[in-house]
């Protein structure tokens, strides 16, 4: 496929522009936009092309009800974060878990594991889709934050959704950004070895 140099520059700019957004405007993205983003997620490659991702999209009352679970997941990780984060960031993070930054949409991302596939391959396939979802959100003028925190309360999230025989991997909270987070520094040393 031939992409123009402009397109290539824009693509790399998009990768750089993606940030974890933790504060959102109240406007709800349209169903059309959400469907496009989910479609982009499902363009991802997957082991044996099993397309083992499963997404649960929470909006409205269901999203509001999920907040109490998010608050519970905070209790599981707050002690670790209290030691790692400076007090202002700790408080911001606590507030984020309590409000999810007012994100109007929460997408819970699951893997349908298959006995014919390695577990890590199944998990990795879902995360490939989650990254597509993150990038499509940026392309649509939205922001999102991928969250591993719900793993603290996996069983409760499963029963909240009525899910069986799927593995919860993460949540993605999504909406129109209401802040511009600074770029989190990237460490390039010792990440790549050329042989």
Ligand X SMILES: Cc1cc2nc3c(=O)[nH]c(=O)nc-3n(C[C@H](O)[C@H](O)[C@H](O)COP(=O)(O)O)c2cc1C
* Three-state SS at 170: strand
Query: To the nearest whole angstrom, how small is the minimum distance from the Cβ of residue 96 to ligand X?
Result: 6
- Report the DSSP beta bridge partners of residue 147: 171
Q: Name, in order, each residue with C-beta under 8 angstroms of 100's C-beta and a sequence gap of 6 or more.
A: 66, 67, 70, 106, 173
Count other C-beta atoms under 10 Å from residue 155's C-beta. 8
Q: How far apart are CA 55 and CA 146, in angstroms?
A: 13
Query: To the nearest whole angstrom, how small is the minimum distance from the Cβ of residue 140 to ligand X?
Result: 17
Of residues 20 and 99, the one with the C-beta less far from ligand X: 20
Q: Based on the shown chain and the rule CB under 6 A, indicate whether residue 144 belongs to the binding site for ligand X.
A: no
Q: Based on the shown chain and the rule CB under 6 A, indicate whether residue 181 belongs to the binding site for ligand X.
A: yes
Q: How far apart are CA 128 and CA 46, in angstroms?
A: 8
Determine the interface stretch with ligand X among 30-38, 50-58, 116-124, 141-149 (rule: CB under 6 A): 141-149
Q: Nearest 5°: phi and psi at 82?
A: -60, -35
Query: To the nearest whole angstrom, how small is the minimum distance from the Cβ of residue 26 to ligand X?
Result: 20
Q: First vs last Cα of the chain: how many Å apart?
A: 30
- Per-residue contact track with ligand X, 69 to 108, x per CB under 6 A? ---------------------------x------------
Token digits of residue 191: 């990440």
Name which position in 20, 51, 99, 121 contacts ligand X (CB under 6 A).
20
Distance between alpha carbon 109 and the CA centroid of its chain, in Å? 8
Name which position in 29, 34, 146, 153 contacts ligand X (CB under 6 A).
146
Q: Based on the shown chain and the rule CB under 6 A, indicate whether residue 172 belongs to the binding site for ligand X.
A: no
Q: Based on the shown chain and the rule CB under 6 A, indicate whether residue 157 belongs to the binding site for ligand X.
A: no
Judge whether 78 and 152 are in contact, CB under 8 Å.
no
Name which position in 58, 106, 142, 145 contacts ligand X (CB under 6 A).
145
Name which position in 19, 100, 144, 175 contacts ligand X (CB under 6 A).
19
Residues that bind ligand X (CB under 6 A): 19-20, 96, 145-149, 170, 181, 184
């Amino acid at each position: 496929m031939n992409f123009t140099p402009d397109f290539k520059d824009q693509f790399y700019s998009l990768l750089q522009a993606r940030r974890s957004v933790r504060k959102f405007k109240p406007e709800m993205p349209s169903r059309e936009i959400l469907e496009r983003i989910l479609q982009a997620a499902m363009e991802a490659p997957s082991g044996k092309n099993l397309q083992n991702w499963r997404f649960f999209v929470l909006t409205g009352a269901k999203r509001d009800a999920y907040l109490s679970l998010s608050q519970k997941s905070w209790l599981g990780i707050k002690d670790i974060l209290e030691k790692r984060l400076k007090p202002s960031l700790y408080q911001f993070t606590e507030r984020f878990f309590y409000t999810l930054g007012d994100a109007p949409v929460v997408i819970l991302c699951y893997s349908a594991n298959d006995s014919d596939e390695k577990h890590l391959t199944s998990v990795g396939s879902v995360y490939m889709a989650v990254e597509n979802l993150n990038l499509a959100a940026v392309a649509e003028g939205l922001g999102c934050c991928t969250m591993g925190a719900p793993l603290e309360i996996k069983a409760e999230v499963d029963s909240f959704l009525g899910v069986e025989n799927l593995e919860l991997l993460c949540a993605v909270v999504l909406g129109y950004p209401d802040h511009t987070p600074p770029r989190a520094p990237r460490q390039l040393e010792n990440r790549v070895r050329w042989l």
